[in-house]
Structure 1
């Protein structure tokens, strides 16, 4: 009983520390786009030039989108770390879902001049997973590709024991400085000074947590100038 009490006490302290870190990260990350919005709103009031006004509105809209994405990330983070995010398991064709979601970002990928390559032969073996969670993971990965890929993203599949392995890799820009051992750390971005307003540093951290919650695993590696993500999804459901 004493050991159980001490374990619960340690878990409570760890959860409290996680909440403190999340609040600190939230306040920092939200301050930047909010300051940007406030600044450009002031500029809107001060100019009558229609071209400048359209430019300022476009920047404000982008900042608002980033705020929405950040709040969704923090909401997911809070629910995961307090064990409140429920799992609804269904049989999913992973290759169909991946194709559907990636193609929904076709225009953004085209705009960034990123070529998307699907495998010639798809693994049609279905996985047992939460469709909304897998969708969230894929969205986070696509956002990562849009921010950091140089010109190419390649999707492939493999089987390993009781897992269907989804591999997504992208080439990285010449000046990229990826610390591969930190990519799944909370609030990590390539910009160590944390002045990167394009990313909250939570996308891959949350993705790994979501995959693990479905009894899978997620790995990252760097080979030459390729950033590689591997996601292992169970094909026989979650183990007891």
Structure 2
């Protein structure tokens, strides 16, 4: 009797050991699938998920996920090709428009020198104003397409956010003064250094300051923190939360923005994210705040 009992206990122990090993192998295979799938999503590779387990169900799961990865790769290539073609089309269109627009502006200037009636002079002013807006939009389109397609060729280097911020604000000093805006800048004494592209960062800061010139009620506060976060704040009573939520959308403009193309903040967002930074806008108590953060 005792022999049968020991045999039964041994059999149960063997079954439990097999189950423990099976569970361990299943958990190991599940971990392999999870890590491999995450890696394939994050990297540009043709390598599929390779599973060491012989379990039929897990191998079917891996095969199914590989099918999805193949489809995702096709969709990604199709999107990249379409995005490239769109950028090239925008570049070509904006380039083709610049020449006739320049000629139109030149002839309008000559026409304004001729004797005209008061009504004709008013019409010419309207035409010239609309032509300048179209010319500005064309220039922004060209710059946007160049920035979107050529960023990979831009060299990044270690720079001090303090210095670039000061340079960017000084460039817009005359425009700020013309709008009676006296910027209040607060930054730490020590240099906040990051590895970024200086030209792209200057463009980001410049576009945000330009945005403040359009919407500010007469103030602008800029704070640079030691963590690398920057905050641009100004009172903007003409805006609301819905408008602020769309400010980073391409070609979105607010009616109060004179001669705005709706590309300034879209370019700032694109360049910020391409340099692994983050940018967001918050509107509270009639104050527009734009937060930018570049991690180390």
- Provide the aligned C-alpha RMSD in A: 4.0
TM-score, structure 1 normalization: 0.72
Q: After TM superposition, give the deviation of residue 147 of structure 1 in Å.
A: 1.8
Structure 1: segments with no counterpart, 5+ residues: 236-240
Identify the match of residue 194 of structure 2 among 88, 105, 127: 127
CA distance in 2, matches of 1:104, 1:146: 13
Query: Structure 1 residues 37, 108: CA separation in 2 closer, same or farther (over 3 Å shift)?
Result: farther
**Are the equivalent residues in 1 in contact too, given 2:224–2:230 (CA < 8 A)?**
yes
* Whole-Å separation in 2 of the counterparts to 1:55 and 1:47: 12
Work out which of the two has the higher radius of gyration on C-alpha atoms and give 1 or 2. Answer: 2
Q: Which residue is 1:208 aligned to? A: 269
Say whether the 8 Å CA contact 1:165–1:230 is kept in structure 2: yes
1:218 to 274, 279, 282: 279
Aligned to 1:104: 171
Q: Specify the alignment match of 2:5 in structure 1.
A: none
Aligned to 1:76, which of 135, 139, 147?
147
How many angstroms does 1:108 deviate by? 0.9
**Mapping of residues 1-240 of structure 1, within 5 Å:** 1=48, 2-15=67-80, 18=83, 38=104, 41-42=107-108, 44-45=110-111, 48-49=114-115, 59=129, 64-65=135-136, 67-77=138-148, 79=149, 85-119=152-186, 121-122=188-189, 124-160=191-227, 164-172=228-236, 174-177=237-240, 179-191=243-255, 198-235=259-296
C-alpha separation between the residues in 2 aligned to 1:97 and 1:48?
46
| Structure 2 gap segments, 5+ residues each | 1-47, 49-66
Larger strand percent: 1
Other-structure match for 1:238? none
SS in structure 2 at match of 1:85: helix
TM-score, with length taken from structure 2: 0.60
Higher relative contact order (CA 8 A, sep 6+): 1
How many equivalent pairs are there?
Answer: 220
Moved more, 8-17 or 104-113: 8-17
Q: Distance between the aligned counterparts of 2:231 and 2:112, measured in 1?
A: 50
Post-superposition shift, 1:21?
7.1
